[in-house]
């Protein structure tokens, strides 16, 4: 049986809903920016800047597989504007946390994406 459950929400409205909701699931001092991907209508680009002295920033590609499920991929990690090795334990822990927060945000937005 083919999957017919597709995302039917306007991408700009979805990005706006994410922009409102994602900060509520992140650490209070982290900053997030959510943009609609211009090439793919079911993709959002998420930029998260960590708080504090670390100055890390993370870029994620969030793809809607269907109206409820998202696939999250890390695109880039930077520190003070320079690429860093994302395989360190500290960065892996942050990546795991942010991926979990992104999934949490997607769950909170099920009412919007149905």
Ordered per-residue pLDDT tens for the chain, 114 residues: 445 677 888 999 999 999 999 999 999 899 999 999 999 999 999 999 997 778 899 999 999 999 889 999 999 999 988 999 999 999 999 999 999 999 999 999 999 988
The two structure tokens encoding residue 19: 């922009």
Burial-class residue 10 by CB neighbours within 10 Å (0-12, 13-18, 19+): exposed
Count structural domains, the chain.
1
3-state secondary structure at position 54: coil
CB 63 within 8 A of CB 24: no
Find the domain containing 80 and state its range: 11-113
The pLDDT score that the predictor gives to residue 54 is 81
3 assigned to some structural domain: no
5 assigned to some structural domain: no
Q: Is the pTM of this model over 0.75?
A: yes
The pLDDT score that the predictor gives to residue 4 is 60
The pLDDT score that the predictor gives to residue 97 is 96
16 assigned to some structural domain: yes
4 assigned to some structural domain: no
99 assigned to some structural domain: yes
The pLDDT score that the predictor gives to residue 22 is 98
31 assigned to some structural domain: yes
Name beta bridge partners: 60: 46, 74
26 assigned to some structural domain: yes
């Amino acid at each position: 049986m083919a999957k017919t459950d597709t995302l039917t929400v306007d991408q700009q409205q979805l990005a706006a809903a994410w922009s409102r909701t994602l900060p509520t699931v992140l650490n209070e001092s982290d900053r997030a920016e959510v943009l609609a991907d211009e090439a793919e209508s079911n993709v959002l680009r998420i930029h998260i800047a960590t708080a504090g002295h670390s100055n890390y920033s993370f870029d994620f590609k969030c793809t809607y597989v269907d109206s409820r499920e998202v696939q999250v991929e890390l695109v880039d990690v930077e520190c003070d504007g320079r690429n860093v090795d994302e395989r360190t334990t500290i960065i892996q822990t942050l990546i795991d946390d942010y991926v979990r927060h992104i999934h949490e945000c997607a769950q909170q937005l099920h009412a919007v994406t149905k």
